[in-house]
Structure 1
Amino acid sequence: MEYAKRYPMIAKRQLILIKEAQGLEKKFDELSEYVLKPQKQSVVVFCYKNKSFDKRNKLYKATLKSGIVFESKSLYDNQVINWISNKLNLEKMQFEPKAVQILAEYLGSDLGRISQEIKKLKIINSDIITPLIIEQYIGYSKDFNNFELINAIGEKNIDSSYRIALYMSRNSNQHPLVVTISSIFNFFNRLLKYHVLKDKSKTATILGINPYFIKDFEIASKNYSIKNCSDCIDLLAKADLKSKGIIGVNNNHKAILIDLLNGIYNN
């Protein structure tokens, strides 16, 4: 805490970041003494990474009394698309809604990684971010991914869905089965909500989607009844158990995905 006790050379205050603060637990008693009587000219920030601040220790209690405790929680999967859209808007980057969907699917909820990829896309200085640009500069196939698989399923484009599924099963490292099953489940879960929604003008809000994709659910609702959706969700639950080795014998990526599609189209 020697730096915190010094006076700044030029500015009125100095900022001191203590990274990986969770590794300083042996010094928490000493640090808590400073926190209870801090120097006004210093702003001290304790950064915890991949670990919660233990509310039982002295440092937490001292910080709560004399400062501010801020917890940045991970986003849920259904919040990532809005976060990416807002980030692109802040960067004043134009984008296609489909491109945002692909980014969210490929990068998941790792905001650090998403930010790095957005920086990469900004350097390109393209007029608009499209799926093709993502394929060229990030390396994710614009034609063979969960987003396109779900589109094919929704449209009952059988040939396309099997072709995408076979490609993804051959590239399982880039397309984990658990993510694919989760994505298809989310689709049918939303489609169920769409079926029972009386006021279709609220579709985007209730389903948590960009209005651009409402037409996809309009099409899918004609291909899958409420009962079809319920049956598909049951099939997905079984596929999930197979992927985890809980049931079934032939539990490889290809067999599970093809069996799932067979069930979806034959229920």
Structure 2
Amino acid sequence: MDSGAKKILDKLKSRKYEPVYVLQGEETYYIDLISNYIEHNILSDSEKGFNQVIVYGKDVTVNNILTHARRFPMMAERQVVIVKEAQDILDLQKETGAKQLLDYIQKPVPSTLLVLCHMHKTFDKRKELGKKIEQLTEAATFKKPKDNELPAFIIEHSSSRNFKMDDKAVQVLAEYVGNDLSRLANEIDKVLINTDPGQTITAELVMAHVGISKEYNIFELQKALIRKDRLQVAKIINYFQANTKKNPVIPMVAFLYSFFSKVLIASAAPDKSDSGIATFLNINRYFAGDYSVTLKNYSSSQIMATLSLLKQTDLKLKGVDAGDASEGEILRELVLRMML
């Protein structure tokens, strides 16, 4: 778990509250996690009716929010005001709105928990309001995790629900879903719901429950490409061409581009063994095998050419110089040129 999120949640669970919480950044998973905890756990059900307010930024001005925040609780020790999508507050970008919020943050009502969920971006640190927010005890900025941080998230999320996931299953989820933690958590939960307690979660279980064909999927295509197994590549491409609705090509190209970008980085590793590459890329040794195999089968110039092909293909799929070719035909042309 993100250290900032853990710190805030630990204090909340210990009932140590602050009057203002600003949750911001690209990664919305932790913003939702913290705001949901506050929404469901700070007040009792009987207290919520008069003392908990949830609004959306697009529907309110700063003054509307502060009217709620400055009230005193009724028959309760405190009140909670949660602003979801706070980046859309109607006058937040205006000088008057920013000044009102700044004044409140500097002198908040102690009996109110004001929670601002500023999604996908951060307050401007060049402005006075942004600078003040950075100084708050409970201000947290959440960035998108790096690829090498995803396995730890998957393992922790599964373990917190008393399930164990094997290394291959972790790899499949990390590579198939990517670094959207909200989607990743949902896909993990989808697998867990369909798994018996105590059962180790395998890659086969993951594929079955997140909708990945066991034989014909992006992982098998990647494996066939790095081995230059033309027959297997042809089988997988035939399957994809016949099922393009279930297997959209743009995400596949992005997946392969991400992989070959890391291969290019790995080519600079002084030690090209699995353990050497794992150390160089800061990844689990289990995942390093594909990189070492690729480096044996692709020269540096071929890796660069592959990345260029993938960029060109991405543009074609988005309508640039595509002609009348279908997604499936564009994908077939890509892999044939990669195998040359």
Tell me whether 1:183 sits opposite 2:255 in the alignment: yes
Q: Cα 1:55–1:174, aligned 2, differ >3 Å: closer, same or farther?
A: farther
SS where residue 140 of structure 1 aligns? coil
Deviation of residue 76 (structure 1)? 4.8
Q: Cα 1:60–1:9, aligned 2, differ >3 Å: closer, same or farther?
A: farther
1:146-165 equivalences under 5 Å are 146-165=218-237
* Pairing partner for 1:21 from 86, 105, 123: 86
Deviation of residue 152 (structure 1)? 1.0
| Larger CA deviation: 34-43 vs 63-72 | 63-72
Deviation of residue 110 (structure 1)? 2.6
Give distance in 1, aligned partners of 2:196 and 2:292.
35
- The 8 Å contact of residues 149 and 161 in structure 1, kept in 2 or not, is answered as yes
Deviation of residue 153 (structure 1)? 1.0
User: Using CA pairs below 8 Å that are at least 6 residues apart, which structure has the higher relative contact order?
Assistant: 2
- The 8 Å contact of residues 227 and 294 in structure 2, kept in 1 or not, is answered as yes
- For residues 71-97 of structure 1, give each alpha carbon's deviation from its aligned partner in whole angstroms, at most 9, with x where no partner exists: 223335564444323433444431122
SS where residue 140 of structure 2 aligns? coil
Give distance in 2, aligned partners of 1:141 and 1:82.
25
* Pairing partner for 1:94 from 164, 176, 184: 164
Match of 2:304 in 1: 230
* Pairing partner for 1:207 from 281, 287, 291: 281
User: Which runs of 5 or more structure 2 residues have no equivalent in the other structure?
Assistant: 1-66
1:110-189 equivalences under 5 Å are 110-123=180-193, 124-126=195-197, 127-189=199-261
Kindly indicate which of the two structures has a greater share of residues assigned to strand: 2
TM-score, with normalisation over the residues of structure 1?
Answer: 0.80
- The 8 Å contact of residues 146 and 180 in structure 1, kept in 2 or not, is answered as yes
Deviation of residue 65 (structure 1)? 6.1
- The 8 Å contact of residues 36 and 66 in structure 1, kept in 2 or not, is answered as no
- The 8 Å contact of residues 240 and 247 in structure 2, kept in 1 or not, is answered as yes
Q: Cα 1:66–1:212, aligned 2, differ >3 Å: closer, same or farther?
A: closer
User: Which runs of 5 or more structure 1 residues have no equivalent in the other structure?
Assistant: none
Deviation of residue 149 (structure 1)? 0.7
* Pairing partner for 1:220 from 283, 289, 294: 294
- The 8 Å contact of residues 277 and 292 in structure 2, kept in 1 or not, is answered as no
TM-score, with normalisation over the residues of structure 2?
Answer: 0.65
Match of 1:38 in 2: 108
| Larger CA deviation: 150-159 vs 182-191 | 182-191
Kindly indicate which of the two structures has a greater share of residues assigned to helix: 1
SS where residue 82 of structure 2 aligns? strand
Aligned Cα root-mean-square deviation (Å): 3.2
SS where residue 48 of structure 1 aligns? strand
Could you tell me the percent identity over the aligned residues? 31
- For residues 139-167 of structure 1, give each alpha carbon's deviation from its aligned partner in whole angstroms, at most 9, with x where no partner exists: 22232221111011112222211222232
Give distance in 1, aligned partners of 2:293 and 2:312.
26
Q: Paired residues, what number?
A: 265
- The 8 Å contact of residues 163 and 201 in structure 2, kept in 1 or not, is answered as yes
Give distance in 1, aligned partners of 2:288 and 2:297.
15
| Larger CA deviation: 67-76 vs 93-102 | 67-76
Give distance in 2, aligned partners of 1:226 and 1:65.
47
Match of 1:245 in 2: 319
Q: Cα 1:159–1:52, aligned 2, differ >3 Å: closer, same or farther?
A: same
- For residues 15-51 of structure 1, give each alpha carbon's deviation from its aligned partner in whole angstroms, at most 9, with x where no partner exists: 4322233343348355444332212233321112345
